Structure 1
Amino acid sequence: MPGNAASVKARRLIRIKTSHAVLSRLSRAGEPHMTGITLTAEQIRNAPAPVRQWIEQEVIAALGLAPRMPAAAPPQVPHLLACSVEDMAGVLEHIRGVLPAVNVLFELGRPGISFGRPAVMTFRLMDILHHTRLSEVGEVMTCLEMINQALTEVKKDASVRFCGFDNEGHCLIAPQTQASIATLWQTMVERQQAARAAPAA
């Protein structure tokens, strides 16, 4: 009932205010105090990257673990190929029959976090897993290796690398590669929209 809901809300607000008052008195008295929040796994997964990083830092501090150091770029990062739109179109042709690999490819067209010199774009493997609805990270890795293999065939060079990995569960690609994937996706969407509009014209 609306009245009951309002009453419950009011009581909750009172409890929160009282809690803050108690914390304030404890702080003035120099006594330690603790407050906390509860988040579901779904809320953490969907939180912005800075929020997830803050949560990770808080957990590390609470457990007394060593502070997290910035991830060192793995040896293969400087050799990641900056792929063009044409390169990505060629890769897509090679993997078109494997829908999970196609989905993983276009996940890497999302804006990522850029860092390092030379710059690389980072994506959490768990985010890719969540967005593509695959069963486990191993399937994501298999798709990425398939994309890597397709790129070597497109470039006719077995030494080129589409992506790399760090020790903290991130996939790394060149920023130009991310931009090329995003452009390829946008081009495909525009072509589909034009094809749908053509019969009406």
Structure 2
Amino acid sequence: MTGITLTAEQIRNAPAPVRQWIEHEVIAALGLAPRTPAAAPPQAAHLVACSVEDMASVLEHIRGVFPAVNVLFELGRPGISFGQPAVMIVRLMDILHHTRLQDVGQVMTCLEMINQALTEVKKDPSVRFCGFDNEGHCLIAPQTQVSIATLWQTMMERQQAAQEPEADSRVAPAA
């Protein structure tokens, strides 16, 4: 057996296929995902392109579950667009890292809550907010990613607008 040590910088600067291979090997070694053939097709057939209104309704359904809300908004970050029709691909490990959940199982539970909320919003049990591939990625429709990002931006603008009158009332008038 031969071992090799790579710095984070070396991994970051490696070509994409090398980084993906390293990611796959680490995930498999840690037992975070089952080892499956890389040629298995991604599960994207039933993904629905969600509007901002859809995402706002989903948010209302999961509002009391903070980790699920975190996971939802994490998917508003730009991802990698892949395939035809295009899907956004986000690494489950990135979601795990950014949401500070304990393991990928918790991420999957949150994603299933979001999927369930969407089926209730759409009143259609066949719709899916997200799907998964065999390489540890979450797949969403590009329009859904844009809708989540727009919802987040709208919420931040409303919060900022609500705080501005408070700030103005604390400023003493000039004499």
Determine if the TM-score, normalized by the shorter chain, exceeds 0.5. yes
Are residues 1:55 and 2:19 paired? yes
Q: Which amino acid is the alignment partner of residue 116 of structure 2?
A: Q
Deviation of residue 118 (structure 1)? 0.8
Q: 2: distance between equivalents of 1:92 and 1:115?
A: 26
Larger RCO (CA within 8 A; separation ≥ 6): 2
C-alpha contact 2:47 2:128 (8 A) present in aligned 1: yes
Q: 2: distance between equivalents of 1:147 and 1:178?
A: 14
| Equivalent of 2:42 in 56, 70, 73 | 73
Matched residue count? 153
Matching residue of 1:149: 116
Matching residue of 1:63: none
1:146-169 CA distances to partner (integer Å, 9 max, x unpaired)?
000000111111111100000000
C-alpha contact 2:75 2:90 (8 A) present in aligned 1: yes
Deviation of residue 51 (structure 1)? 5.1
C-alpha contact 1:78 1:118 (8 A) present in aligned 2: no
Matching residue of 1:89: 56
Q: Give the ranges of 4+ consecutive aligned residues of structure 1 lying more than 2 Å apart after TM superposition.
A: 50-60, 68-74
Q: What percentage of aligned pairs have identical amino acids?
A: 72
Q: Which amino acid is the alignment partner of residue 162 of structure 2?
A: A
Q: 1: distance between equivalents of 2:41 and 2:146?
A: 23
Higher percent of residues as helix: 1
Are residues 1:168 and 2:132 paired? no
TM-score normalised per structure 2: 0.78
Q: Which amino acid is the alignment partner of residue 111 of structure 1?
A: P
Q: 1: distance between equivalents of 2:123 and 2:46?
A: 16
Where does the alignment leave 5 or more consecutive residues of structure 2 unmatched? 25-36, 169-175
Deviation of residue 84 (structure 1)? 0.1
Matching residue of 1:64: none
Higher Cα Rg: structure 1 or 2? 1
Where does the alignment leave 5 or more consecutive residues of structure 1 unmatched? 1-35, 61-67
TM-score normalised per structure 1: 0.68
RMSD: 2.6
